[in-house]
Amino acid sequence: MDKVMSDKRMIALYVIPSLLLILAIIYLPIVLTGYYGLMEWDGISKMTFIGLDNYATLLQDEKFWSSVNHSLLFAVLSAVFLIVYMAVALVLAGRIRGANLFRKIYLIPMLLSSVAIAQLWLKIYHPTTGILNDLLASLGFKNTPEWLADPSVVLGALFVPILWQYAGFYILIYYAAFKNIPGSLVEAARIDGASSLQIALRIKVPLIAEVIKVTIVLAVVGSLKYFDLIYVMTDGGPNGASEVMASYMYHKAFRGFDFGYGSAIGFFLLLICLVATWGIRKLTATKDSIQYS
């Protein structure tokens, strides 16, 4: 029996095609993006090696750093909003009639393409016929801004559809985690006279610490690589006011034909995502994981 299940040929047959695929399409490119970052290259003619020039320019590039700031702002805001989602999930996981229906409704936007969502919100924000300014006008507001053309509000205006899109996803995850907590623990605390708020903050939230960590990583790393929605809605504009790391890379490479510089940005994006993942895990590390089964 052991012999059949440790047949090297069969193992190779089952694993190697997939392994080659991810090595060629995921791992080779991330090495190459660092390498291309050392080149001057327009994507067509031959590359010339320029050492760390691209990376040095990157450190001085104000537009790049403003795109990094925008990405970081989205990351921090997304992480902060996790608290709201957690609160909603706490309520849903209590005795709420129709909780299952609610979490499904919340999830719907997350299933749609970012392009469709972006096009829909372009219409919502439309200065004259959009539903948002319609609504504000009927409430008596005048001089409503041109949401996506005004540099001072554009980031906020972009963040709203992002929230709308992902809220249901995080609520769903927290809901599942809260539902996993054994009822006996909560019941014991209640008999000891703990209030619902105490139970939520002292028992339920600490018990899902692992899940919270995962969601922080997802929210932060997800925000750092936002692209589709911003590309469609503002394309980084007006005048770079909503440029993020991925869109800046795309513009430099596929519009400016500076593939070497674009690769350097891509490599930086990779590093910052890995560092963020590692850092969040490190910062939130607990000595021993909680077990309740």
Partner 1 sequence: MITANKALNYRTDRTSRKIGGRIGYGILYTVLVLAAAVQLLPLVWLLFFSLKNSQEVFNLPPFALPSKLHWENYESVWSQSNISRYFMNSVWITLVSVVLTILLASFVTFAITRMRWKLRSFVLGLFMVGLMIPVHSTLIPLFNLFQKLHLTDSQVSLILSYTAFNLPITIMILLGFYYALPKEVEEAALMDGCSVNRIFFQIVLPMTASVIVTAGIINMIYNWNEFIFVNTFISSDHLKTLTVGVQNFVGQYTTNWGAVGATLMISIMPILLAFFLLSNRIVEGIAAGSVKG
Binding residues for partner 1, how many (CB under 8 A)? 94
Does position 183 interact with partner 1 (CB under 8 A)? The reply is no
Does position 5 interact with partner 1 (CB under 8 A)? The reply is yes
Does position 211 interact with partner 1 (CB under 8 A)? The reply is yes
Site for partner 1 in 45-84 (CB under 8 A): none
* Stretch of 54-62, 65-73, 117-125, 150-158 lying at the interface with partner 1 (CB under 8 A): 117-125
* Stretch of 51-59, 60-68, 70-78, 246-254 lying at the interface with partner 1 (CB under 8 A): 246-254
Q: Give the residue, chosen from 79, 91, 185, 209, that forms a contact with partner 1 under the rule CB under 8 A.
A: 91
What are the phi and psi torsion angles at 51 (to 5°)?
65, -140
Q: Give the residue, chosen from 68, 148, 224, 230, that forms a contact with partner 1 under the rule CB under 8 A.
A: 224
The H-or-E segment that residue 39 falls in is strand 39-40
Give the span between the Cα atoms of 137 and 145, in whole angstroms: 11
Does position 96 interact with partner 1 (CB under 8 A)? The reply is yes
DSSP state of 49: E
Does position 176 interact with partner 1 (CB under 8 A)? The reply is yes
Q: Please, which residue, 78 or 215, has the CB nearer to partner 1?
A: 215
Does position 136 interact with partner 1 (CB under 8 A)? The reply is no
Q: Give the residue, chosen from 221, 237, 238, 240, that forms a contact with partner 1 under the rule CB under 8 A.
A: 221
Site for partner 1 in 97-116 (CB under 8 A): 102-116
Pair 37, 59: CB distance under 8 Å: no
CA 245 to chain centre: 13
Give the span between the Cα atoms of 30 and 42, in whole angstroms: 19
Nearest-5° angle of CA 124, CA 126, CA 129? 90
Does position 159 interact with partner 1 (CB under 8 A)? The reply is no
Helices assigned H by DSSP within 125-258: 131-138, 154-180, 183-191, 196-198, 205-207, 209-224, 228-233, 245-250
